Structure 1
Amino acid sequence: MRRNASITLLAVGHACVDIYQGAVASLVPFFVAERAYGYAAVSGIVLAASLLSSVAQPVFGALTDRRAMPWLLPVSTLLGGLGIALSGVSGSYALTLAFVAVSGVGVAAYHPESARVARLASRGSHSAMGWFSLGGNLGFAVAPLMVAAVVAAGGLRLTPLLVVPALVGSVLCLPVLRALERKRSADPGPAPVAGRDDTVSFVKLSFAVVCRSVVFVGLSTFISLYAKQRMGGGAAAGTAALFVLYLGGAVGSVLGGGLAGRWGRVTVSRWSYLVTVGAVAGVVFVPGPALYLFVALTSAGLYVPFSLQLTLGQDYLPTRVGTAGGITLGLTVSIGGLVSPLIGSLADAMSLRTALAPLILMPAVSWLLFRTLPEPTVPPSATAARQKGDDSDGALSPAPPDHR
């Protein structure tokens, strides 16, 4: 199987899984309308999904560092979809909470191992990893449309139909896993030297990702309301701002991989965060329709480093790539999301503009942290293995070092 075909299948599968991350928040209005859940009840549902999805990822990452678990891709995809599909079947709040939590566990189990498999299939290509990340971003963005199309037509009783993307995603990953297994069986090759873990750089990277998450989660939570205030429009003004935020992220994910191939991941990420400082300032302070331009620049600036940070984390912890993926994709995002209630409280006490102004500092902190990070070097044996994969007509190369 050629590299592009493998990454395409994995990217679509990634989209199918991340649909269920976005589906939880999309179901909230229907839970309120049909079951009269209060704010505390729906907050509990969202919290159950987000915390389990994010905090459990490092746990699954540590497990996959001990033993390769490619079977987690189809199983966790089905688990993520099944939980959301069953969430609307029972009127019991406890069961709804349990089903959403099951979906969160499925999402958590998927990401560390899928990141390892995607990196193997990409053979070190930053551009290919960018496409893999794009799949997840698109899945998250499509979730509100899918939920509205299904549930608005017939209510929560139709949520079992939401399992369809999970069925598709679980099937699409199978050819990639079979090709990987055939390649390993035919030519296992010597295990490349992993190199040493650079824990200090990984911790700095993690703090930079937390700052990035604070900005993106804060804007995605409040940009609709802010756009309505600034533009003096109705719901359409807020919806447009949110759409631009997601669209800019999709563009940034693909752009980051291409730029990193030319200038390096650390350099591209550093400059991207510097640009984002000005873009967030524009969102907060520049009036009129220019708001949408700065929202797009902010989103692209935040997502250019997205896939680059994943591979950087894996290179800083070459003996624990599963743990690195779980932390950069999961735990740091969860920590960033905890700041949203603080932004909301400040907005209630003062104004939404005042509450969003501190977000300007977050990409500046990420920029400062990236100024201290080195560009990881690939061990010679790993470089040879990668070159061997490139010479095999696109077949998947032997696994990168993970010392399971």
Structure 2
Amino acid sequence: MEEQKNKIRPEFSILLAVSFAHLLNDLIQGVIPSVYPLLKEEHQLSFSQIGIITLVYQIAASIFQPVVGAYTDRKPVPYSQIIGMSFSIAGMALFSYAPSYAMILCAVFLVGIGSSIFHPESSRVAYLASGGKRSMAQSIFQIGGNAGTALAPILVAYLVLPRGQSSIVWFCAIGIVGQIVSYYIGNWYSEKLKNRSQNSKSTVRIPDLSDTRVYMTVFILMLLIISKYFYIASITNYFQFYTMEKFGITEIQAQVYLFYFLIAVAAGTLLGGIFGDRFGRKYVIWFSVLGVAPFALFLPYADYTMTGVLVVIIGLILSSAFPAIIVYAQELLPKKLGMVSGLFYGFAFGMGGLGSALLGWHADHTSIEFIYHICSYLPLIGVVAYFLPNLQRIPYKEVI
């Protein structure tokens, strides 16, 4: 009865708290790509070096996430978000006064470590507080992160760009606020773990699929993440340079264009969660990745005004997939929530970093405009979503 009651009533206070903590965490992370024009000018960096900054950060954020998730599956750590925020604060402090390229890489590595600790347990909290509405809960959690990422270029444009690199230190205060919010979440999570330990033999429903089918499904999901995050890397890391070069606009105007895209990503994330619960996660995943293809193909040929319209449409559609992918993977392997969340968040970050490095190298050897012609074909990989099993239509079995 208690489980049914929880399914009817998601714990929105916790969902909003973990979403707000995610906003603060990803706001700190979003500062890194937002200051690339400043770093490029002050430190005389190439596009390849900018790509390496993203790669170092994303590798740190990706490699450790599955490890953290697998560890917390065995031994949950309710206050892990506070630990993660501590690494991010240290990284921001170092980033603000980094005198060299090597120190910048060290700083973003620390921020990446903080992200790798923050995400797996936070995603598990969203799952536990969902009351059965898992796509909605995951989208509430994810929209916080997307909103934080969207706010970063605006704050950087008006607070950092006029004052220089040292002003980045003010973002440490955001990490401290995040630790306070995470303490509230940790208290709830600790209580939840105590209640669950009293019923240690509770059963878990898992889809009745062969191991081979499960592995193939995970492989397909990872292909979709490659497509999605390579394309997103092209926008978040290089769109400022693209619009500045193609349309001759200022750095602040370019940051505003990036803001449009990131706000659309936040809105699309929420819609993806709502539609995932209502129509099925497979169909949302399929539409999100493949549906953006015609707009991505047209983007390199658009004029100034139409470019702004297209990036909003692309962000809105493309972002709806990730909450559905995470929940789909959690339902596929419900006994390994932390490992699954860490694996997919980590893989997404890793592909974003790898994509940024490869695109930066390619932009140095061709042009910043040419990479958007290449990336416009990436959403066509979404056709492989056809082969995902529909988890809402297959039998389940219960295991202890």
Contact in 1 for aligned 2:228/2:379 (Cα 8 Å): yes
Alignment of 1:173-192 (within 5 A): 173-186=182-195, 188-189=198-199, 190-192=201-203
Select the residue among 76, 89, 100 that pairs with 2:84.
76
Alignment of 1:336-347 (within 5 A): 336-347=352-363
How far residue 19 of structure 1 moved from its aligned partner, in angstroms, is 1.9
What residue is the counterpart of 2:385 in the other structure?
370
Select the residue among 48, 52, 57 that pairs with 1:49.
57
Identity %: 25
Select the residue among 282, 292, 296 that pairs with 1:266.
282
The one-letter amino acid paired with 2:172 is: V
What residue is the counterpart of 1:163 in the other structure?
172
How far residue 129 of structure 1 moved from its aligned partner, in angstroms, is 1.4
Q: Does 1:17 align with 2:30?
A: no
How far residue 231 of structure 1 moved from its aligned partner, in angstroms, is 4.5
How far residue 257 of structure 1 moved from its aligned partner, in angstroms, is 0.9
Contact in 2 for aligned 1:230/1:287 (Cα 8 Å): no
The one-letter amino acid paired with 1:254 is: L
Cα 1:160–1:206 change in 2 (3 A) is same
Show CA shifts across 1:358-385 (max 9, x none).
Answer: 323322212x221000133598798xxx
What residue is the counterpart of 2:351 in the other structure?
335
The one-letter amino acid paired with 2:76 is: A
The one-letter amino acid paired with 1:326 is: G
Show CA shifts across 1:37-88 (max 9, x none).
Answer: 6447766554432221123222222222232122211111222122212333
Contact in 1 for aligned 2:57/2:353 (Cα 8 Å): no
How far residue 346 of structure 1 moved from its aligned partner, in angstroms, is 4.6
Contact in 1 for aligned 2:146/2:263 (Cα 8 Å): no
Contact in 2 for aligned 1:218/1:337 (Cα 8 Å): no
**Which stretches in structure 1 are left out of the alignment for 5+ residues?**
383-400
Alignment of 1:137-156 (within 5 A): 137-147=146-156, 150-151=159-160, 155-156=164-165
What residue is the counterpart of 1:220 in the other structure?
236
Alignment of 1:312-331 (within 5 A): 312-331=328-347
What residue is the counterpart of 2:122 in the other structure?
114
May I ask how many residue pairs the two structures share in their alignment? 382
Task: Tell me, in whole angstroms, the C-alpha distance in 2 between the residues paired with 1:234 and 1:30.
Answer: 12
Show CA shifts across 1:313-362 (max 9, x none).
Answer: 22222232222212221223322432344444555555555432232332
SS in 2 for 1:123: coil
Structure 1 length as normaliser, TM-score?
Answer: 0.83
Contact in 1 for aligned 2:299/2:310 (Cα 8 Å): yes
How far residue 157 of structure 1 moved from its aligned partner, in angstroms, is 4.5
Select the residue among 259, 268, 271 that pairs with 1:243.
259
Contact in 1 for aligned 2:95/2:103 (Cα 8 Å): yes
Contact in 2 for aligned 1:54/1:331 (Cα 8 Å): yes
Contact in 2 for aligned 1:194/1:379 (Cα 8 Å): no
Select the residue among 188, 204, 218 that pairs with 2:220.
204
What residue is the counterpart of 1:398 in the other structure?
none
Q: Does 1:130 align with 2:139?
A: yes
The one-letter amino acid paired with 1:375 is: N
Task: Tell me, in whole angstroms, the C-alpha distance in 1 between the residues paired with 2:371 and 2:100.
Answer: 37
Contact in 2 for aligned 1:21/1:50 (Cα 8 Å): no
Show CA shifts across 1:79-136 (max 9, x none).
Answer: 2122212333464765554343222211111111111111111233212211110111
The one-letter amino acid paired with 1:193 is: V
Contact in 2 for aligned 1:65/1:322 (Cα 8 Å): yes
